[in-house]
Structure 1
């Protein structure tokens, strides 16, 4: 936590000492929906190309204050439209915001699961993120991007940075509920499969329907490879936001990893009464303020109980 607060103090000082210059045109202010139901509606009813409010404006030109576009990376069963709080908030504060949709199998096209991402193998999704970031850099003229990944997206981003060239073009990452060591949430099913000796046919069957689900398990090759590679690239800065209210990354500390270039924030250490869960942290005002401060926009950090704790 000490590193985070010192970074915040530096940002505040920089703002106070910065010379006055010509004012940039204020972006159109969009509604910011701090609501878990709003997230669910946005993700479930979205249609291609899955643009979030204020995001995926391919004519956006980064400002001198915010020269790096922010790329949002959704979680399992999500898509790029499911950001009703973070995307418009970043837009309202003058950032160029882009949101990838990844991990959709070819067989999903046109069906009921057409907008359900994150199901394909993470190794493939990583390359989709690579190509999307390349498009963002080409459109905006920026040299680097910042990433805001969430849930499975933290694994996609980690692999992209370590394996698919992201370390060269990513400056920093603000991870929401990272899953570096996998999640034990499916332990009863996994343990039963191993106990019966049927784990291999089950995992083989899932390969064509939801390999992304398997890739988040601690026993998966994806997690083992990530851990063996050290999780972090030394040239990238990482901030990990964890919550004790997380019922999907089990235990929540599986997203905690120390390093000189990493800051770990447990939400309840900042706001003890806020038990926002795995999904609701993406629409939480305290988390959003922490994210803005990390990306260089000093704002007051509110503290209040989450209306959807443990969700």
Structure 2
């Protein structure tokens, strides 16, 4: 049964206008194009190798999947028996968020799926709706992936909202897991890049809007997902009441000390409960020169190797640390 909170006021159409202005501005300024460290492997065709490039392309084609994703004829092989479902962050879409990781996973032999959720078709900035509503979207999508591929379980990889409070809500309240019989879980692994697990303060901005009682007003423009992700929100208090994890799920958190959105960054970390495992990783403890922050961690090749290792721990490989910069990645 769904655990439903009261539905909030619908978000404003101002997001459509703002996305258009952002796209025009980005193109006018000539954001950086595709770039990658010289020693990186040759990327698959269609790969977008910088966050700004993906932002522009995803704004102009907000409903297009990233390269490598949404092949509904894909059947998992024995080496990688679980499809990977990529869940984008708030105010992005699948193309913006996953144009580097999706083709990498496809080339590694995974069936990859990347839904757009929490927003209207044609609107670039998605994942703005009430998080329990978006979780029900993801529940339907995962069921569709399982039916199409014949797989018994999926692995989830998400960024920000998509790696934190959204999939945790789905796992607990929307059928993603079966606590009484974890072998029947629909999800085996949840890997979060800068996940919003225990709320955000947005470097103090969210604390200010919360203390001033402005979150409902801000959410009229920014979407209900803004208020839902603030520290102390009703969504968080409802979700956290039952602990951080679900039995039978392996959780991996990949955080950066330079996160400016889900702050303080240790709010991203999870505590394992009964029958679950958790690995909390601060990327600078592995690659000290990594300067990725909340946005660029989705385009960070060091983080991507950690994702590959978490998906297939039996064949984990060392992280060959490369420079990854703020906003751009690497």
TM-score normalised by structure 1 residue count = 0.81
Match of 1:252 in 2: 265
Among candidates 140, 148, 163, match of residue 139 of structure 1 = 148
Task: Note the residue ranges of structure 2 that are not aligned, 5 or more in a row.
Answer: 1-42, 178-184
Q: Displaced runs of 4+ in structure 1, greater than 4 A?
A: none
Deviation of the 1:115 alpha carbon: 2.6
Q: Deviations over 1:260-294 (max 9, x none)?
A: 51000110011011121111111111111111111
Equivalent residues of 1:247, 1:310 under 8 A apart:
no
Equivalent residues of 1:33, 1:283 under 8 A apart:
no
Q: Verify: 1:182 aligned to 2:199, yes or no.
A: yes
Find the aligned partners of 1:191 and 1:141 in 2 and give their Cα distance.
48
Find the aligned partners of 1:189 and 1:70 in 2 and give their Cα distance.
32
TM-score normalised by structure 2 residue count = 0.77
Equivalent residues of 2:257, 2:282 under 8 A apart:
yes
Which stretch has the larger CA shift, 259-268 or 55-64? 259-268
Q: 1:184 to 1:205 in 2, by over 3 A?
A: closer
Equivalent residues of 1:274, 1:309 under 8 A apart:
no
Q: 1:192 to 1:206 in 2, by over 3 A?
A: closer
TM-align CA RMSD:
2.2
Which stretch has the larger CA shift, 298-307 or 154-163? 298-307
Match of 1:170 in 2: 187
Equivalent residues of 1:123, 1:159 under 8 A apart:
yes
Find the aligned partners of 1:45 and 1:132 in 2 and give their Cα distance.
24
Q: Verify: 1:117 aligned to 2:126, yes or no.
A: yes
The 5 Å alignment of 1:15-164 reads 29-30=44-45, 32-48=47-63, 50-82=64-96, 83-104=98-119, 108-109=120-121, 114-153=123-162, 154-164=164-174
Match of 1:295 in 2: 311
Task: Note the residue ranges of structure 1 that are not aligned, 5 or more in a row.
Answer: 1-27
Report the 3-state secondary structure (helix = DSSP H, G, I; strand = E; otherwise coil) of the residue aligned with 2:202: coil
Deviation of the 1:187 alpha carbon: 3.7
Question: What is the number of residues matched between the two proteins?
Answer: 273
Match of 1:306 in 2: 324
Find the aligned partners of 2:319 and 2:206 in 1 and give their Cα distance.
40
Q: 1:140 to 1:35 in 2, by over 3 A?
A: same
Report the 3-state secondary structure (helix = DSSP H, G, I; strand = E; otherwise coil) of the residue aligned with 2:238: helix
Which stretch has the larger CA shift, 123-132 or 252-261? 252-261
Q: 1:109 to 1:68 in 2, by over 3 A?
A: closer
